[in-house]
Amino acid sequence: MKQVHNFNAGPCVLPKEAINAAIEALKDFSGTGMSVIEVSHRSKEWQAIMDETEALWKEILNIPDGYKVLFLGGGASTQFLMVPMNFLNKKAAYLKTGVWAKKAHKEAEGLAKAWGVEAACVASSEDKTFNYIPKGYTIPTDADYFHITTNNTIYGTEIREDIDCPVPLIADMSSDIMSRPVDVSKYTLIYGGAQKNVGPAGVTFAIVKESALGKVEHYIPTMLNYQTHVEGSSMFNTPPVFSILVMNYTLKWLKKLGGLKVMEQINKEKSELLYNEIDRNSMFVGTVANKEDRSRMNHCWVMAPGHEDLQDEFMEFAKSKGMVGIKGHRSVGGFRASLYNACPKESVEALVACMQEFEKMHK
């Protein structure tokens, strides 16, 4: 198999161990003589995987009692709608730090309009192509909830602090979940698509505080109601079995590695390695305005002034060295390298070496 350095933004690199275990389960699942995609989701072998996967989430992320971990379909994008459906009564509040945050706000705005209530935008960094995290904003104390996007995958900014929030805090953690410890008790809901740090596309996680549910008066469509899935333990309807199984294997890999404190340290080292090179290398410049806002997952940079014409050449050069997925999102341009949990340090070293060699070629 061709050896590459995978910096894709999502779906993205996953632990080899998880992929190999999944290949085995596709052939014979838990000694059943059937593939995992052939067994009943009501079988005891499958139930064991559901229970174990939730237990792994609770253990690794240190989730307190009173929270349920759900495994749903529909992606993070369906959560954008489920959030206001389940929590919006009179007023929602959103922090707009990127395109995903904007999309989440749009769903709340749509429902708020239909219901004659409010979906406020507390602060936005859209004025500067979302290249910073707004600070010093005031969260309205009469809001039903405050929604944030902890990691802005496209722009490479991140909120790593578990903020003190006067109202229920809801976070889209699609692209930085399990990259560091999180104080779950500060959140009413944490959700995300699995396909960046915890598994393949097809399963969506939602960590929900059970006591916060059932507080709206309007009808919530069955499949969009968190309570449906809490009561059905994520098996109200057929769950995305294969994606959940790969998630299970990915979490076991993370646990074996030493958990989130160890993972955070590794992520910090990988991230610093790349940012140090972006800052040192005369050919390149980072796109995030303030260093403290920089994401440890997605690293964005462009050609330095005077070298813009070399962009395509660097892209080709990097490709020839085995780099995959470093093209920046069209709204930012330049380059983006996503260093998710499973991205090995050797890949980051290879990318840095490639940037250094390119600089030498043009000096």
Task: Single out the catalytic residue among 46, 57, 100, 301.
Answer: 100
- Please state the closest distance from residue 138 (CB atom) to ligand PLP, in A: 24
Closer of 21 and 101 to ligand PLP (Cβ): 101
Closer of 86 and 174 to ligand PLP (Cβ): 174
- Please state the closest distance from residue 117 (CB atom) to ligand PLP, in A: 24
- The length of the chain, given as a count of residues: 363
Q: Is 196 a catalytic residue?
A: yes
Q: Is 253 a catalytic residue?
A: no
- Please state the closest distance from residue 167 (CB atom) to ligand PLP, in A: 21
- Please state the closest distance from residue 130 (CB atom) to ligand PLP, in A: 12
- Please state the closest distance from residue 14 (CB atom) to ligand PLP, in A: 15
Q: Is 183 a catalytic residue?
A: no
Helices and strands (H and E) in the chain: how many: 9, 14
* Sequence-distant contacts of 327-330: CB under 8 A, at least 24 apart: 328/287, 328/300, 328/301, 328/302, 329/9, 329/154, 329/155
Q: Report the alpha-carbon angle 171-176-179, nearest 5.
A: 125
- State whether residue 146 is helix, strand or coil: strand
Closer of 75 and 134 to ligand PLP (Cβ): 75
- CA dist., res. 132 & res. 101, Å (int): 13
Structure tokens at 113: 């309009």
- CA dist., res. 282 & res. 106, Å (int): 40
**Phi, psi (degrees; rounded to nearest 5) at 316:** -65, -45
Closer of 193 and 328 to ligand PLP (Cβ): 193
Closer of 56 and 190 to ligand PLP (Cβ): 190
Binding residues for ligand PLP, per CB under 6 A?
10, 75-77, 100, 149, 153, 172, 174-175, 193
Task: Single out the catalytic residue among 68, 96, 102, 196.
Answer: 196
Cα separations (Å) of 340 from 25, 39, 103, 257?
24, 31, 23, 14
Q: Hey, which residues are catalytic here?
A: 100, 172, 196
